[in-house]
Amino acid sequence: MKEVSLYTDGACRGNPGPGGWGAILVYGAHERELSGGERETTNNRMELMAAISGLGALKERCSVTLYSDSKYIVDAYLEGWVDGWRAKGWRRGREPLKNPDLWERLVALTDYHEVKFVWVKGHNGHSYNERCDALATAYADSFAEIKNS
């Protein structure tokens, strides 16, 4: 099974507001950058989209180490929250979980691939995290410019 590193980040100008996501896949000497965004979204949705898009771009089942500065995503897996949310029909206690559509997509991808989640401190000089942030903020800024014109 191929071993791949996936670096992800999301950004939002306002929350909600214009947002973007960035992901970088690394396999050996090969790197692939992915990015996108939405005109009106939240930071957490963009963080989720970065992970979904990166994992979804893989053409075969892989062993993936996913690096993210999102405690929301990393802790959901490391602390087992995602299993509880899924078992309870995408609810947190009595309240519906936010972004269940994206969590369902991410869980399907993490069920398919072998994924290890690693938290990295954001804006701390980590080169891949900084590049993902630049990709994400470029999209967020482009939508913000359209919104403000």
Cis peptide before 96 (omega within 30 of 0): no
Of 10, 17, 19, 20, the catalytic one is 10
Distance from C-alpha of 37 to C-alpha of 50, rounded to nearest angstrom: 9
Q: Report pLDDT for 88.
A: 94
Q: Is 123 a residue of the active site?
A: yes
Confidence tier at 105 by pLDDT (50, 70, 90): very high
Q: Is 137 left (phi over 0), alpha (psi -120 to 50) or beta?
A: alpha
The DSSP-derived string for 59-88 is SS-EEEEEEES-HHHHHHHHTSHHHHHHHT
CATH code of the domain covering residue 111: 3.30.420.10
Query: Of the residues 19, 37, 113, 133, which is catalytic?
Result: 133
Query: Residues 50-64: pLDDT tens digits?
Result: 999 999 999 999 999
State the catalytic residue, choosing from 56, 69, 79, 89: 69
Q: How many domains does the chain have?
A: 1
Residue 133 annotated to the active site: yes
Q: Which one is catalytic: 17, 38, 47, 113?
A: 47
Please state, rounded to an integer, the average pLDDT across all residues of the chain. Answer: 94
Q: What is the pLDDT, as a whole number, of residue 149? A: 52
Model confidence band, residue 146 (pLDDT cutoffs 50, 70, 90): low
Q: Across residues 69-87, what is the average pLDDT?
A: 96
Range of the domain at 25: 2-148
Residues 93-102: tens digit of each pLDDT: 889 999 999 9
The closest of 112, 149, 140 to 47, measured between CA atoms, is 140
Over range 73-77, report the average pLDDT: 97
**Of residues 143 and 7, which shows the higher confidence score?**
7
Could you tell me where the beta strands, DSSP code E, fall in the chain?
2-12, 17-27, 30-41, 62-68, 91-92, 95-96, 114-119
Cα 10 to Cα 19: distance, rounded to the nearest angstrom: 7
Please determine, for residue 147, whether its predicted confidence score (pLDDT) is greater than 70.
no
Judge whether 83 counts as a catalytic residue.
Answer: no
**Catalytic residue (choose from 33, 83, 123, 145):** 123
Q: How confident is the model at residue 48 (pLDDT cuts 50, 70, 90)?
A: very high
pTM of the model: 0.94
Cβ neighbours of residue 16 closer than 8 Å, sequence gap 6 or more: 40, 41, 42
Decide if 60 is catalytic.
no
pLDDT surpassing 70 at residue 70 = yes
- pLDDT (mean) for 135-143: 91
Reduced DSSP (H G I as helix, E B as strand, rest coil) percent helix, strand, coil of the chain, to 5? 45, 35, 25
